[in-house]
Amino acid sequence: MKNNSPARLATLLGVAAGLVLAGCSRPATGSWQGYFEGDFVYVGAPLAGRLETLAVKKGTRIDAGAPLFTLEQGAEVAALQEATGRLRQSQSRLADLTKGERPTELSALEARIAQSRAAAELSGRELERTTRLHETHVLTDDDFDRARLSHEANLKQVAADEAQLETARLGGRADAIAAAEADVAASQSALDHAGWSVSQKTQTAPRAALVYDTLYREGEFVPLGLPVVSLLPPENIKVRFFVPEAEFGALKAGDAVHVQVTGRAAPIEARVSYLSPSPEYTPPVLYNRENRAKLVFMVEAVPVDPAAARDLHPGQPVDVAK
């Protein structure tokens, strides 16, 4: 049977009122209440895909460079292989243009030049004989002109064959070579992009940290740019505490403070890194002398030694003193 006597109810109400008053009481001057806060590092991939491998577990500590997760990369690997083949193809085309004709084709041109020179030499000798006969009026003008023009044609053929051989040795034209070089550069850029896409499907830890949370499970599809793992490096842990208006003016950035954590014998040394320019809590009345005492400003401090904050957790309450 329950005891609901007025005395018992009064006792319960008194205890509750005492707890409320104790919770609302302000700490002694020079000591402020606060808690630890963390700036998390959210690691995701710039490409979407199914989560193939999750290499870490929530709550474990990892070193910098440790593998975090891998997304499916079949399409990216295929694109990389295609880009590799296209680069080789464009490089071979450029090399072919800069080399000129093949050795057998150059040999054929050289043989043609030899034939042209032999024909020119033969027609030259023929022209010498016809010239002497023409001067003695043995040959007619038509026969002389025929021999002269034949020799001139053979000389022009030699010049044409020599120019063709020189052109064959030069390779492709400057415009064609420039186009081939641009094609090689474009193929190299495509290969670089394909390689980057493959590498981005596997992410590693940017620094040593605590795996604070894993946001996807293996087999789930991860949309573009969304984080898969949240990390908390020790150097990203800070103290956030609240200072009354009357004591706020005595603090400045760089001041040393002592952070007392329950369960630790020695306080953690920290330095003030940020002071809020506006009050965190203000009553909905004018700032008269009485209400100004209720203003509270938020202040942040970072531990001097990040290793000291390694085993601390966001939300953990602390007492801060200067």
Looking at 232, 251, 281, which one is the last position of a domain?
232
With beta carbons less than 8 A apart as the criterion, state whether 40 and 231 touch: yes
DSSP-derived 3-state class of residue 86:
helix
Q: How far is CA 291 from CA 23, 196, 241, 278, 298, in A?
A: 20, 59, 20, 15, 17
Residues 171 and 264 in one domain: no
Task: Dump pLDDT digits (tens) for 158-172.
Answer: 898 888 878 777 666
Residues 119 and 182 in one domain: yes
Task: Dump pLDDT digits (tens) for 270-307.
Answer: 999 999 888 765 555 444 455 555 778 999 999 999 88
Residues 110 and 192 in one domain: yes
* pTM exceeds 0.85: no
Mean pLDDT lowest for which of 40-44, 54-58, 106-110, 214-218? 106-110
| Residue 17 domain-assigned (yes or no) | no
Q: Which domain holds residue 306?
A: 26-39+234-321
Residues 259 and 273 in one domain: yes
Please tell me the predicted confidence (pLDDT) of residue 14.
43
Residues 108 and 61 in one domain: no
Residues 263 and 291 in one domain: yes
| Residue 283 domain-assigned (yes or no) | yes
Q: How many independent structural domains does the chain possess?
A: 3
| Residue 305 domain-assigned (yes or no) | yes
